Amino acid sequence: MTCSTWKRPAYKERELDLSEWKRVGDVFFNNGITNVELFGGDVLLRNDMLIPFIKYLKEKDFVIYLPTNSNLIDEKMAFDLVEASVDRIYLSTDGLTVYMTA
């Protein structure tokens, strides 16, 4: 099963912009939340907002967890994630191939 949020009509109307995401981060910070996992579909689809948002959260000393299916990680994205100081990156796969020899 995969995420079906993109099929919902409201999803196509509007997404939060960076300033709105920063306000969400401020609410977390003001309520003592220090660990954030950024997920949903593939968060790397919105790297135009993802990297600035991660940098904003890191300025507030958040610990950042980022699961991804890694389809969109190229050399530049990997560098950007390291530079933004993501604490943990989890790579998910659709399956595992096991080779056995007798």
Query: pLDDT tens for residues 36-89?
Result: 998 876 788 888 889 999 999 999 999 999 888 777 888 898 889 889 999 998
> What predicted TM-score, i.e. pTM, was given to this entire model?
0.76
| Residue 19 confidence (pLDDT) above 90 | yes
Give yes or no for a contact between 88 and 62, defined as CB atoms under 8 angstroms apart: no
What does the pLDDT read at residue 71? Answer: 78
Residue 84 CA to residue 55 CA, distance in Å, equals: 5
Give the CA count within 13 Å in the CB-facing half-sphere of 13. Answer: 3
What does the pLDDT read at residue 57? Answer: 96
| Residue 13 confidence (pLDDT) above 70 | no
